[in-house]
Structure 1
Amino acid sequence: MYVYKCFSETSILLCQLRVIMNNCSFEDVDRLMTSLQLVIYIPIFVFGLILNTLALVVLCFVLRKWTESTIYMTNLALMDLLLLFPMPFKMHATKYHWNADKRPFCSFLESLYFVSMYGSIYTIMCIAVDRYVAIKHPFRAKQLRSPQVARIVCVLIWVLVVGATSPVYRFHADGAGEFRCFHGFSEAGWNPALIVCLEVLGFLVPALVLVVCSVKIVRALRASQQDRATSQACVRIIYSNLCIFLVPFTPSHLGIFLQFLVRCGAIADCGAQAHISLFVQVAMSLSNVTCCLDAFCYYFITREVRAVRGTLRQSLTYRRTNSTSEV
């Protein structure tokens, strides 16, 4: 009921009033996260930087052939490196407050974080669609897939996520004193319409596309009787990649939704609010681990997909030849 009412201007004011009147303290949560975030961020930053740099070297200088897969993989590696850029500043912001004149720079860092996160999500979704077309429709893939199409799609992803994250610059627009970057977003950051777009278009739709494409690919691979060892290997990789996407990003977006309920006053219990605050901060921190996994996981799947795609094409060609000879 509260969530429904928050979509009106009157209820938004009431939600803000409930939060102001709430005397809950989160000092214990902030104290715990000060150390825990450093434990999470430092390994992610080190390994993510090494793995994504190696991935770019392999894609750009070793393979040297710009196919659809390598273009998407390069775009994903760039998105993951962009995610790592604000991480040292996030580690600094976990312990120290920033002066008021640093608000524009903080908003820029926050926008880069969201650009890279949702750019990675949409790039992974496009990889799944491209993989689905290549395996499920190998003959139509010649018309639907090309390096030029992949480049256009990647450019559109950048334009989309950069434009969609522009509201981030209003998250710290108010206030004249010291503040903590990546913390304490203003009410503009919890606008109901913005949260709905973030949850639905930013996560649920790409996740649904990824799940549907993965299921259809697995069915196609299992229906093929050619080279079962390669097919089974590809199925395992597809399920692994699906888990790598869903496991980090599902808790973080669930946490964002729960925190939205807290800001609207739908969850008023202090203990519940403290647990939600801890949950959303841990989930958002752990979601960054995808930048370490993406660097090599999607590179190896392109080799498996090429092998299986060739197998399916041979199978379809064999069937067509048999059906023609029978006629």
Structure 2
Amino acid sequence: NGSEGCSTERSVLSQAATSVSIYVILALGLPLNGLGLWVFWCRLRGWTETRVYMANLVAADCLLLLSLPGVLHTLGQAAGAQEGVLCRAVQSFYYVNTYMSICLITAIATDRYAALRFPLRSRAWRSPRQAALTCLALWLLVFGAVALPASWLRAGESFCFGRGRTRGPGTLAFSLLLFLLPLLVVSFCSWQVLRRLARKRARSPPQDAAHILRALHVVAANLATFLLCFLPLHVALLAMLVARWTDAACPTLQAVAAFVQATSRVANANCCLDAVSYYFVAKEFQEEVGAVLSTSRPFRGRIK
């Protein structure tokens, strides 16, 4: 048994690097997302589909940031430490807001694609009220999906991960399944939007082409941020799951565990990167590209 007696406990240096990265994310993310929360909930007068999704995204990012001190506490637990209710609650809170961010980014990409691919038909079902109901359904879905692996653990399985503990197989499988579908949807919708914008830009006069080019940059940056933040983590989780299933040697398990730890910190940085994209998406895509790509005057105000 290659994994029997194998320790994946973090070194002192790795533990310190993890702590510093979380403090940096908190220092940058809290003011950025606090400002975003204030703008979306207090300053914007009219609610549109995109603004509803964005307001929920900034709320999920803020809640994720608030969970990081608790995660920092669980990371400091020694190998073999007993998992308590507080540990599982903090870990569940972290998972909920991480995957809620992923689901909301998916919803934004889908809404953006529908508005461009079916501009007239989508008017019948694209509305702030429908976006709010979609967000409510996503919150309930993610809460339920996180609660299942947290409450149905078998003997010897772990849900929390501490200094000498990695996620159990059930939690790993849950994380991968909850990411795979959003990955496919975001990639497909973003690619289709980029293609349509590029074609439209090639046929547009110079003044309109400049607006479309800015929107191309926004959509491409959103897709790149999503892939950069979340794909490495889930590749690492898949590697960990495969290593356990194949009973990999201890050095392999230790290397994969270190990979998971590093990519987890990269995924947390999404809180800060989202805060930058809130404003670019709201301004560039809604106001400029929505006006250029609208096929009729009544639809001009709908891509918001």
Asked whether the two chains share a fold, i.e. TM above 0.5, the reply is yes
Q: How does 1:193-272 map to 2 (within 5 A)?
A: 195-200=172-177, 202-224=178-200, 225-226=203-204, 227-264=208-245, 266-272=246-252
Deviation at 1:168, TM superposition (A): 4.1
Q: Distance in 1 between matches of 2:65 and 2:2?
A: 33
Q: Once the two structures are superposed, what CA deviation does each residue of 1:26-60 show, in whole Å capped at 9, x if it has no partner? A: 34x43332111012101101211111110011111
Residue 190 of structure 1 pairs with residue 169 of structure 2? yes
The count of aligned residue pairs is 288
Q: Which moved more, 1:90-99 or 1:241-250?
A: 90-99
Change (3 A) 1:198 1:93: closer
Q: Distance in 1 between matches of 2:292 and 2:75?
A: 51
SS in 2 for 1:86: helix
Specify which of 54, 65, 76 is matched with residue 84 of structure 1: 65
Q: Distance in 1 between matches of 2:161 and 2:34?
A: 30
Deviation at 1:173, TM superposition (A): 8.0
Q: How does 1:1-327 map to 2 (within 5 A)?
A: 18=1, 22-27=4-9, 29-97=10-78, 103-170=84-151, 181=162, 184=165, 189-191=168-170, 195-200=172-177, 202-224=178-200, 225-226=203-204, 227-264=208-245, 266-306=246-286, 307-313=288-294, 316-317=295-296
SS in 2 for 1:311: helix
Q: Which runs of 5+ in 2 are unaligned?
A: 298-304
Deviation at 1:271, TM superposition (A): 1.9
User: What root-mean-square deviation, in Å, do the aligned CA atoms of Structure 1 and Structure 2 show?
Assistant: 2.6
Deviation at 1:128, TM superposition (A): 0.4
SS in 1 for 2:60: helix
Q: Distance in 2 between matches of 1:217 and 1:206?
A: 16
Q: Percent identity?
A: 32
Change (3 A) 1:99 1:223: closer
Q: Between Structure 1 and Structure 2, whose CA radius of gyration is higher? A: 1
AA of the residue aligned to 1:190: P
TM-score calculated relative to the size of structure 1:
0.80
Q: Distance in 1 between matches of 2:180 and 2:57?
A: 19
Q: Which moved more, 1:273-282 or 1:295-304?
A: 295-304
AA of the residue aligned to 2:253: Q
Change (3 A) 1:62 1:98: farther
Q: Distance in 2 between matches of 1:98 and 1:85?
A: 25
Q: Once the two structures are superposed, what CA deviation does each residue of 1:119-155 show, in whole Å capped at 9, x if it has no partner? A: 1101000000111122333222321200110000000
Change (3 A) 1:182 1:145: farther
Deviation at 1:237, TM superposition (A): 1.1
Q: Distance in 2 between matches of 1:223 and 1:285?
A: 37
Q: Distance in 1 between matches of 2:93 and 2:63?
A: 7
Q: Which moved more, 1:250-259 or 1:99-108?
A: 99-108
